[in-house]
Chains A and B, each alone.
With several copies, the nearest count.
Chain A
Amino acid sequence: MELEIQDTDVQGWTVVTASGEIDVATAPELRDRLTDLIEAGTTRVIVDMEDVDFIDSTGLGVLVGGVRRARGSEGGDVRLVCTNPRILKVLQATGLHEVFIIGADVDEAVSAEPR
């Protein structure tokens, strides 16, 4: 798994672009990065999953933890960019598509109604 972090100029959202395989072996790195961002006050985070080809339950759990921490702050959230049917299928199979706000691109994720 590779991670890249980029500020956007859209309403203070920060984009974390993940690529490769997010599994129990690599997910801790994603957890650390998300936690660091949120604790440092960057509570609006988009995780761009367009280049992720595999995610397991540990990876999903890291995203759930991120959402919980981010939503603890006014206006905070961790949202996903994802159109890959493989990954969408796993989000659906776990019901997590009802937990996360998922957009087809960063603009769509940013402009969605909060949950």
Chain B
Amino acid sequence: MAEIVLEIPPRLDYLAVVRLVVATAAALDPPLPESRLDDLRLAVTEACSNAIKAHRPEAADQPVVISCHLDEDRFRVDIRDRGPGFDPDALRSLPAPTDPSRLQHESGLGIPLIKVLTDDVTFQPAGDGTIVSMTLKRPPAPPI
């Protein structure tokens, strides 16, 4: 199992770097298919932008740490922040798209998107912050 670790300052303009690294790591052998790379780029952006925001203002000088775990059958990426933590089960869900009040909500799509885009996600409190772990399964290798 290989591991790639990236540490960035908690600044939103580093998100493009994070997307690049994680997608490049996931495209290494055996690569995730292109459409799953899209899912991964978006899920990582959402989790990482939450992490970066969670560093404001107390942990502005601490890094957000992104680690990629490359296994034969799955790709896992962990986003670790030093924010205040939160309870993902306590988040209110958004009104249905056909409900006129849906238009009142400009935020709150990040975690629902992560759940749809990944095969598995966990949110673990980690002492002084949160680790969001997202897993995408690799397709089985074609028979030889």
Chain A: residues with CB nearer than 8 A to chain B? Answer: 21, 23-25, 54, 56-58, 60-62, 64-65, 67-68, 71, 86, 89-90, 93-99
Contacts and interface: CB of A to CB of B under 8 A. Distances in A.
B2 interface: no
A94 B112 contact: yes
B117 interface: yes
Contact of B106 (A56, A64, A90, A98): A64
A65 B103 CA distance: 7
- Place the interface of chain B in its size category: 20 to 34
A57 B109 contact: yes
Contacts of B113: 57, 90, 93-94
B116 interface: yes
Q: What 5 pairs between A and B have smallest CB-CB spacing?
A: A61-B106, A57-B109, A95-B97, A98-B97, A68-B103
A61 B104 contact: no
B54 to A, nearest CB: 13
Contacts of A56: 42, 45-46, 49, 110
Interface string B19-52: 1000000000000000100100110011001000
